[in-house]
Amino acid sequence: MARRRLPLPSMGRRGMVPSRDLSQDGAIPMARPVRGSSLVDSGVYRGGERVASPKDLTATVAALREEPGRTAWMGLYRPAAQELTALAEEFDLHELAVEDAVVAHQRPKLERYGKTLFVVLRAARYLDAAEEVEFGELHLFIGPDFVITVRHAESPDLSAVRRRLEADPELLARGTEAVLYAILDAVVDGYGPVLRGLGTDIDEIESQVFSGDPQVSRRIYELSQEVVDFQRAVTPLVSILSGLTAGFEKYGVDEELQRYLRDVADHVTVTAERIDGYRGQLRDILQVNAILVGQRQNEEIKAMTEASYAQGEEVKKISSWAAILFTPSLISGIYGMNLDFPEKDTFGGYLFALGLMLVLSVGLYAAFRRRGWL
């Protein structure tokens, strides 16, 4: 059967906050519509059809208890501790799960407390301009006749998931596990654009590496951190879905839902494998970049060495000619001093001075030539 796609568009919300009044059963505090509440949407269903849209938690519980066979889905956004505590008393939620849902910042996980399933998911979306993966944390309490979703970020948007499920009563009628499947499917579908964004950036980085951009090392490192964070959000889903699969028979999950959940598990496995591939690619790119940087540095050092060698050769030549030309100047300077040499005023003395200049100059030239300076 074809997989049911549940995309994640944007949503609006209406506000509810609880008051201090209690209902007669003393379980759920009354709620009145005020700005900034945690209750986003609440629906009671029977046979896949929505039969009630309560405006507060007390009314939701009352509508749920009106007749057997009903299920309730309460969507909360950053609820206060007292709201979840009241729900915990009504639906027998474990205090550890409630504490996790209030505090947030939890890793993706699956816990079963009696008949209640507690699931933590991390939705993700890619911000291309910043080259960052933005995560949204979602907590789910799944019971035999209720679903409580607690969001701590704007994503994932569950309003579209709810609308799509309500448009498919046959799927929704399969029980609260259908809501769990739909949310898992939406979260996993949201990983697709993230993978494409990361893949595009990796392709750009490969071109950047071979162009010699000096800023590419920083970009590789930062993108590697985003991939690692994304992997931490996705990898636990493999074990979460394995745990769900292992409980199919024990908890009597609908066969059709089993197929859907296995399909989601396949997509998660593919996503996890692609993330592993991205980490390997970035690691290889970083190594290649290090090699290329080393090669460029070696070439620069080689060029500097060659330039220094050529400069040294020129200095040798200049120094050699300077020494050769300095010798005649030295001799002529000595003979030009106002000293009384016997041979100074004779023709032989003149020839001797010229000969000495010539011999020393030729000797120096030969010596420098032999050393390779000239």
pLDDT score of 8 more than 60: no
| Average pLDDT for 254-259 | 83
* Neighbouring C-beta atoms of residue 322, cutoff 10 Å: 9
Tell me what pLDDT residue 341 has: 58
State which residues form the domain around 331: 309-370
Q: Mean pLDDT check: name the lowest of 26-30, 73-77, 327-331.
A: 26-30
Residue 312 to residue 304: CA distance in whole angstroms: 12
| Average pLDDT for 175-203 | 92
Confidence of residue 5 (pLDDT cuts 50, 70, 90): very low
| Average pLDDT for 69-85 | 91
Tell me what pLDDT residue 338 has: 59
Angle between helices 347-370 and 255-335 (to 10 degrees): 160
User: How many domains is the chain partitioned into structurally?
Assistant: 1
pLDDT score of 174 more than 80: yes
pLDDT above 90 covers a percentage of the chain that reads 38
Residues 6+ apart with CB under 8 A from 250: none
When comparing pLDDT for 22 and 214, which is higher?
214
pLDDT score of 263 more than 80: yes
Q: Is residue 362 part of a domain?
A: yes
Tell me what pLDDT residue 30 has: 32
Tell me what pLDDT residue 14 has: 29
Q: Which residue, among 204, 192, 202, 193, has the nearest Cα to 280 in the 3D structure?
A: 202
Tell me what pLDDT residue 97 has: 92
Q: Model pTM greater than 0.75?
A: no
Q: Is residue 275 part of a domain?
A: no
pLDDT above 70 covers a percentage of the chain that reads 85
pLDDT score of 355 more than 90: no
Tell me what pLDDT residue 36 has: 41
| Average pLDDT for 272-292 | 89
Q: Is residue 162 part of a domain?
A: no
Q: Is residue 345 part of a domain?
A: yes
Tell me what pLDDT residue 35 has: 38
pLDDT score of 60 more than 50: yes
Tell me what pLDDT residue 154 has: 80
Q: Mean pLDDT check: name the lowest of 183-192, 224-233, 343-352, 359-368.
A: 343-352
| Average pLDDT for 282-309 | 81
Q: Is residue 290 part of a domain?
A: no
Q: How far is CA 348 from CA 218, 329, 359, in A?
A: 81, 19, 16
Domain containing 354 — which CATH number?
Answer: 1.20.58
Tell me what pLDDT residue 1 has: 37
pLDDT tens sequence across 12-55 = 332 333 332 323 333 333 333 333 458 899 999 999 999 999 98
pLDDT score of 268 more than 90: yes
Q: What is the mean pLDDT of the chain?
A: 81
pLDDT score of 191 more than 70: yes
Q: Is residue 337 part of a domain?
A: yes
Q: Tell me which residue has tokens 């745990």.
A: 243
Q: Is residue 319 part of a domain?
A: yes
Q: Mean pLDDT check: name the lowest of 113-122, 248-257, 300-309.
A: 248-257
pLDDT score of 99 more than 80: yes
pLDDT tens sequence across 131-151 = 788 999 999 999 999 999 999
Q: Are the CB atoms for 254 and 175 separated by under 8 Å?
A: yes
pLDDT score of 75 more than 90: yes
Q: Are the CB atoms for 87 and 101 separated by under 8 Å?
A: no
- Measured at the CA of 81, the angle between CA 77 and CA 87, to 5 degrees, comes to 80
Q: Are the CB atoms for 91 and 51 separated by under 8 Å?
A: no
Q: Is residue 326 part of a domain?
A: yes
* Neighbouring C-beta atoms of residue 21, cutoff 10 Å: 10
